[in-house]
């Protein structure tokens, strides 16, 4: 009898336990349903496209996702999601999604997608792993960034135009410089030389004790000095060596002239048999080096400047190192962003246009090293000549 009562009590306890478990399951299921409804409510009201991907198909798509793609809910739930992605971007987008789900990628990834109308658009997406209907699924947040991409493309076009304008301006200036330098050399210098010769002839006709002899000698000395200064001015405006012997000869002569005029020791080293440069590349590089030399004279307080030119794999590399006071390169970048460093900004834009670049390394008290790299041949579509 005792055993029978014990068995009944056990059945009652087990039934009670089962009721508790069932109640807990019902409560959990209710919470699960409430959570899913909350997800869907939030997704429906989200300004961003939201979808749930599970078992190879979309299980849920919110109104904004449907608006971005142009498909109806029924069409999206029935189609293979990968068909939305541009064929050239499918592999990269899939790998990015895998990397993000595994925690290897944090930043949103971008890809092109094809709308229902056949238009190619741009999307930015993030994905995260969730549980949906009791199974693992992927929650995607999808944003149409086509407008941003179009704005970026326009900005790139504007930047290219700016580089082109900077290069054209520099080359136009060089054309004018070359004309002025030629005029100085062919007219002014030659006229001065003729005057000097005539004064020399006149000097031979006068006696050494004649009162005009001293004045004529002073005039000849003054004219000789004017001829020398005119030559220096002509070379500083536009070096004829640049067009006759090339960039290396022009830079070497420029360094020698500045050393003689300002007392700074310049050393120059160039690789043998440098290949000829396109006219636009040659002119822009010479003007860049001239501006850098001028900056050294004005600001660096340097005693020695080392210049080197080397060619390798179709690129010319020019390095300019000085032992001056140096500066904080971060301050230069800040200045450029505030449009105060237009000189350096202009140099970078011109070099960028011909496929080149400039790198500056400096520290206060440790001098400055500038490296210029540019292609030997200009490959820009709108090629500019001097």
Summarised one tens digit per residue, pLDDT across range 123-155 is 999 999 998 888 999 999 999 999 999 999 999
Reply yes or no on whether the pLDDT at 382 is more than 50: no
Do both 173 and 111 map to the same domain?
no
For residue 93, what pLDDT band results from cuts at 50, 70 and 90? very high
The total domain count for the chain is 4
Last residue of a domain, one of 129, 144, 159: 144
Tokens of 33: 């349903």
- The mean per-residue pLDDT over the stretch 99-116 comes to 95
Output the CA angle 222-264-300, nearest 5 degrees: 120
Burial of residue 68 (number of CB atoms within 10 Å: 0-12, 13-18, 19+) = buried
Q: Which of 281, 292, 296 minimizes the C-alpha distance to 247?
A: 281
Tokens of 182: 């030629």
Do both 270 and 353 map to the same domain?
yes
pLDDT tens digits along 26-45: 555 555 555 556 556 555 65
> Count of H helices and E strands in the chain?
12, 10
**Residue 357, domain member (yes or no):** yes
Reply yes or no on whether the pLDDT at 248 is more than 90: yes
Q: Which of 59, 72, 236 minimizes the C-alpha distance to 135?
A: 59
Reply yes or no on whether the pLDDT at 180 is more than 80: yes
Report the CATH number at residue 75.
Answer: 3.30.450.20
**Residue 140, domain member (yes or no):** yes
Q: Quickly count: other Cβ atoms within 10 Å of residue 336's Cβ.
A: 15
Do both 24 and 66 map to the same domain?
no
3-state secondary structure of 213: helix
pLDDT tens digits along 195-208: 989 888 888 887 77
**Residue 216, domain member (yes or no):** yes
Do 340 and 380 touch, CB atoms closer than 8 A? no
Last residue of a domain, one of 144, 178, 203: 144
Last residue of a domain, one of 117, 144, 171: 144
**Residue 348, domain member (yes or no):** yes
Question: In which region does residue 109 sit, left (phi positive, over 0), alpha (psi from -120 to 50) or beta (all else)?
Answer: beta
- The parent domain of residue 61 ranges over 46-144
Do both 296 and 365 map to the same domain?
yes
- The mean per-residue pLDDT over the stretch 40-65 comes to 83
Do both 286 and 309 map to the same domain?
yes
Q: How far apart are alpha carbons 341 and 349 in whole angstroms?
A: 12
For residue 378, what pLDDT band results from cuts at 50, 70 and 90? low
Do both 138 and 160 map to the same domain?
no
Do both 109 and 195 map to the same domain?
no
Do both 316 and 360 map to the same domain?
yes
CA 176 → CA 61, 181, 183, 293, distances in Å? Answer: 65, 8, 11, 21
Do both 305 and 372 map to the same domain?
yes
pLDDT at site 177: 82
HSE-CB for 84 with a 13 A CA cutoff: 24
**Residue 251, domain member (yes or no):** no
Reply yes or no on whether the pLDDT at 11 is more than 70: no
Do both 39 and 52 map to the same domain?
no
Q: Order of strands, edge to edge, in the sheet holding 120-132?
A: 57-61, 49-54, 135-144, 120-132, 109-114
- The mean per-residue pLDDT over the stretch 218-230 comes to 89
Strand partners, 191: none
3-state secondary structure of 15: helix
Quote the percentage of the chain above a pLDDT of 90. Answer: 44
Lowest-pLDDT range of 15-19, 114-118, 183-187, 229-233: 15-19
Reply yes or no on whether the pLDDT at 273 is more than 80: no
Do both 372 and 268 map to the same domain?
yes
Do both 178 and 124 map to the same domain?
no
**Residue 9, domain member (yes or no):** no
Question: Most confidently modeled of 164-168, 256-260, 346-350?
Answer: 256-260
**Residue 172, domain member (yes or no):** yes
Report the CATH number at residue 358.
Answer: 3.30.565.10
pLDDT at site 359: 92
**Residue 385, domain member (yes or no):** no
- The mean per-residue pLDDT over the stretch 222-229 comes to 88
Mean pLDDT of the chain: 83
Question: Most confidently modeled of 27-36, 200-209, 217-226, 336-345?
Answer: 217-226
3-state secondary structure of 129: strand
Q: Which residue has the higher pLDDT, 342 or 326?
A: 326
């Amino acid at each position: 009898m005792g055993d029978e009562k014990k068995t009944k009590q056990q059945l009652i306890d087990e039934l009670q336990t089962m009721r508790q478990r069932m109640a807990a399951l019902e409560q959990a299921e209710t919470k699960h349903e409430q959570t899913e409804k909350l997800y869907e409510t939030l997704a429906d009201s989200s300004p961003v496209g939201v979808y749930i991907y599970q078992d190879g198909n979309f299980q849920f798509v919110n109104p904004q996702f449907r608006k971005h793609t142009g498909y109806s809910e029924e069409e999206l739930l029935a189609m293979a999601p990968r068909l939305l992605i541009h064929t050239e971007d499918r592999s990269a987008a899939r790998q990015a999604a895998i990397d993000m789900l595994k925690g290897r990628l944090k930043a949103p990834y971008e890809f092109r997608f094809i709308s229902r109308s056949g238009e190619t658009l741009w999307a930015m997406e993030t994905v995260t792993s969730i549980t949906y209907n009791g199974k693992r699924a992927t929650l995607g947040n999808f944003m149409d960034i086509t407008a941003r991409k179009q704005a970026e493309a326009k900005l790139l076009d504007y930047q290219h135009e700016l580089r082109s304008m900077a290069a054209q301006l520099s080359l136009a200036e060089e054309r004018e410089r070359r004309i002025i330098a030629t005029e100085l050399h062919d007219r002014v210098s030659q006229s001065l030389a003729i005057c000097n010769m005539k004064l020399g002839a006149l000097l031979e006709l006068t006696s050494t004790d004649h009162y005009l002899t001293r004045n004529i000698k002073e005039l000849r000395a003054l004219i000789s000095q004017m001829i020398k200064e005119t030559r220096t001015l002509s070379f500083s405006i536009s070096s004829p060596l640049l067009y006759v012997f090339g960039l290396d000869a022009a830079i070497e002569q420029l360094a020698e002239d500045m050393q003689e005029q300002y007392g700074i020791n310049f050393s120059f080293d160039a690789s043998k048999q440098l290949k000829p440069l396109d006219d636009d590349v040659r002119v822009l590089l010479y003007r860049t080096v001239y501006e850098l030399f001028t900056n050294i004279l004005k600001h660096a307080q340097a005693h020695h400047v080392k210049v080197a030119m080397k060619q390798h794999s179709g690129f010319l590399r020019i390095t300019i190192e000085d032992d001056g006071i140096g500066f904080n390169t971060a301050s230069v970048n800040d200045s450029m962003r505030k449009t105060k460093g237009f000189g350096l900004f202009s140099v970078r834009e011109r070099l960028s246009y011909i496929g080149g670049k400039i790198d500056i390394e400096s520290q206060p008290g440790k001098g400055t090293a500038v490296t210029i790299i540019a292609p030997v041949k200009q490959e820009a579509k709108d090629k500019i000549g001097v």
